[in-house]
Structure 1
Amino acid sequence: MNSKEQERVLREYLNGQDSPEGKALFDKWTQSLYDENSLPISDTEEVLSQTQQRMWAHISPKTSSPIIRLVPSWGLRLGVAASILFISVLAWLWIAKFHQPISESELSYQTIKTKAGEHATVILEDGTKVFLNGASSLRFPKELKGLTRHVYLEGEAYFEVTHNPQQPFVVSSKHLNTTVKGTTFDVHDYAQDSQANVTVLTGKVAVEIADNTKHNCLILPNQMCTYENGKAFLTQSVVADASESISWRERKVYFKRECMGLVFRKLERMYNVSFQIKNPQLLDCIWIASFENASLEEVLQSMQSSLGIQYQIKGKEVIITGICQ
């Protein structure tokens, strides 16, 4: 089938004629548009003609026939213009078919939740891996269609995103929207915490405030973007070792000059307990410590020796008395 016959079959299919042959050609054409990435920005007959020949060759069976270059004439000028118009129409149809936004009502979602002290691993349709920390949830579409791969996080998760520059990966959490095209990063955004942050291990990540998209930051490996409740801006900083942000995956924990209020919340999520703090002043104390595969008892003993507090464990409740020294 030569190019004129192919064009006729395509036109008939686009006009609504039921044609398996036309549909097959259309699918091949749209794939060629995708492979070409974009039409050349040029209006010269030679470039446009070369583009058309290259795209027809992409969808036609290979032959040993030589390529014949015709000398431009007035009639050919009209033919090229009509063909380029046809290409443009097909390009528009391709965009409409493959790149139109898909409403959430058209997607089927699934939610994975973890309890305090639990971890979970989720593998999405495109191969992206998500590792959920305790007391967290991930809502995601079963099929990653549309302009973006959009998921919703409550809590904390580490993402290993499959690279796809044509379909960015977006994580919406309580305070932040995080956008990537393929990278590894940690999102820590619990509703109970006054601070949320995103830490990058590899690649490049764009972060913006969920309800104020004018404020954003672009972070690279070993960088962190931080949001604090009540503030209308993000803070960008460098971290010594970004892998520490995902130490929770290996049951490791680092407290680097963290206030005890945040320490207790982290321990509640790690060990599935609740703390009763008898002296509220203790929540403002600062603690420095690190643990690996430690039991709750070991952590509390370290807290007692370094801060001078007292503790009592009653089932799933831990009572803390005293004040840091």
Structure 2
Amino acid sequence: MSNHFKILFQKYIDQTINEEELVMFYSYLERSETDPALKAQLSEFWQYQELMGKGKAADKSKQRSLFKQDRWLEILMKDNQHHSKQVSALIKNATIDDLRKDRKEDKKRFWWGWFKKFFVMALVIVAAGAWYYVSKQEDTTAAEMAYVEKTSAYGQKSTIPLPDGSVVKLNSGSKLIFPKLFEGDTREVTLEGEAFFEVARNENKPFVVRSGELVTTVLGTSFNVKAYPEDQAIQVAVATGKVKVESEDGKSDAQFLTPNMVASYNHTVRKINISSYNNISNLLAWREGVLRFDEVPFTEVARTLEKWYGVKVTFENEDVGQCLIYGEFKNQSLDKVMQALKHAIDIEYKLTTDGLTVTGKGCPT
């Protein structure tokens, strides 16, 4: 029996004692008044506690705090010598319901403490989740707003893959701007200069090219857009598929192009003209490193040479600029191109680090 008392007392200290064991524990305390052996064990226990508590006020205080919710042990801790009579009097005036009520209050305080801890943890988790969601939304928004700018300097060309799988061949002296991610209902890019587009088909998300005052819309096709700021017109040439072109301000009716058709938008009259081209490959030859001129004024040829080779072309006689040029040059140096033109239209030229100077009397009759 004495061992059982020790076990119950240890459970009480550890706060692991249940309601039934608590009632039995209190009954042992009451019996200690008449049971010399039990009384001796209880005294031994208190002497042990006193011995362990010497020089360890903090531990003793902590130990007392374990029992401060219980009025029975509080009496014992205050007065070791007269514990039996006091405990006996308390038990006689108490009922089992009182004991259970006290224990329920302890449980309430215990669970309320855990509830508060859980509530705080839940708030932290919710706050962290909200922060993560907002940060991801901000990251996504930032990604949607982020744009990439690609340029091809004079004398250079580049191939640019787009986020949707489309591929753009960018000509010399050109610039392409596009988002890192194509969000929304369309795939929009902005072009300044010349580029050939091979668009990945997506019927649910049209591909839109904004070039100056002209807007080109496709679902999936290949086409060329030439829109240098210094040119008088913007040109769209279709290689495959179907393309819609319209003015940005909506003042020109939308026009639809099919292969071998070319749209030209004049900045001055703000009108779209459509024509068929017998050999569309002439307009797309630049992709293969081919310069091809078919009855083109020398002034226009000069602008192409400036972009192609990265030089400045100057005419000493403006009449030479009106000469019409025919010819094809594949991966030729500027010097070889000018040698061919020299014999074709009777001109002279001078190529230096400052640029290309063209001289001559005029066009041959």
Q: CA deviation at 1:103?
A: 10
Q: Does the 8 Å contact 2:143/2:180 carry over to 1?
A: no
Deviates more, 1:286-295 or 1:213-222: 213-222
The answer to whether the 8 A contact 1:256-1:289 is kept is yes
SS of the residue corresponding to residue 214 of structure 1 reads coil
Report the Cα distance in structure 1 between the residues aligned to 2:149 and 2:322, rounded to whole angstroms: 35
Q: Does 1:187 align with 2:246?
A: no
Letter in 2 for 1:324: C
Distance 1:180 1:126 in 2: 14
Partner of 2:186: 148
Structure 2 Cα separation of the partners of residues 187 and 160 of structure 1: 12
5+ residue gaps, structure 1, are 1-101
Structure-1 residue corresponding to 2:246: 208
1:153 aligns to what SS in structure 2? strand
State the alpha-carbon separation in 2 of the partners of residues 170 and 120 from structure 1.
20
Match of 1:61 in 2: none
What is the aligned length?
A: 224
Q: Is the strand fraction higher in 1 or 2?
A: 1
Q: TM-score, normalised by structure 2?
A: 0.59
| Residues 236-279 of structure 1, C-alpha deviations (whole Å, 9 max, x = no match) | 11112223322112110111111111110001111111111111
Does residue 269 in structure 1 map to residue 314 in structure 2?
A: no
In 1, Cα distance between the equivalents of 2:363 and 2:255?
Answer: 37
- Counterpart CA distance in 1 for 2:357 and 2:282 is 29
Q: Does 1:308 align with 2:350?
A: no
Aligned to 1:22: none
Structure-1 separation of matches of 2:220 and 2:354: 40
CA contact (8 A) 1:175 1:210 kept: yes
- In structure 1, C-alpha distance between the alignment counterparts of 2:269 and 2:356, rounded to whole Å: 33
Conserved 8 A contact 2:252-2:270? no
The match for 1:324 is 363
**Matches of 2:183 and 2:321, distance apart in 1:** 45
Q: Match of 1:206, as an amino acid?
A: K
Change (3 A) 1:259 1:103: farther
Q: Which residue is equivalent to 2:109?
A: none
- Could you list the per-position Cα deviations for residues 212-248 of structure 1 after superposition, in whole angstroms to 9, with x for gaps in the alignment? 4433321001111112231221111111222332211
How far does the alpha carbon of each residue in 1:113-133 deviate from its partner, in whole angstroms, 9 at most, with x for none?
110111111111110001100
Contact 1:198 1:224 survives alignment (8 Å)? yes
Q: 1:172 aligns with which of 193, 200, 210?
A: 210
- Mapped to 2, the partners of 1:277 and 1:152 lie a distance apart of 33
What is the RMSD computed on CA atoms of the aligned residues?
1.9
Q: Identify which of 253, 277, 288 aligns with 2:326.
A: 288
Cα deviation, residue 106, structure 1:
4.7
Q: Percent identity?
A: 36
The yes-or-no answer on 1:237 pairing with 2:275 is: yes
Q: Distance in 2 between matches of 1:173 and 1:210?
A: 9
CA contact (8 A) 1:252 1:291 kept: yes
Paired residues of 1:150 and 1:171 also in contact (CA < 8 A): yes
Structure 1 pair 110/213, CA: closer, same or farther in 2 (3 Å)?
Answer: farther
The amino acid across from 2:222 in the alignment is T
1:283 CA displacement = 2.2
**Partner SS, residue 173 of structure 2:** coil
TM-score where L is the length of structure 1:
0.66
What amino acid does structure 2 have at the position aligned with 1:229?
A: H
Structure 1 segments, 4+ long, off by >6 Å, are 102-105
Structure 1 CA distance, aligned partners of 2:194 and 2:220? Answer: 19
- In structure 2, stretches of 5+ residues that fail to align are 1-139
Cα distance in 2 for residues equivalent to 1:205 and 1:194 = 22
* Structure with larger Rg: 2
Greater per-residue helix proportion: 2
Q: 1:123 to 1:225 in 2, by over 3 A?
A: same
CA contact (8 A) 1:193 1:262 kept: no
Residue 108 (structure 2) aligns with: none
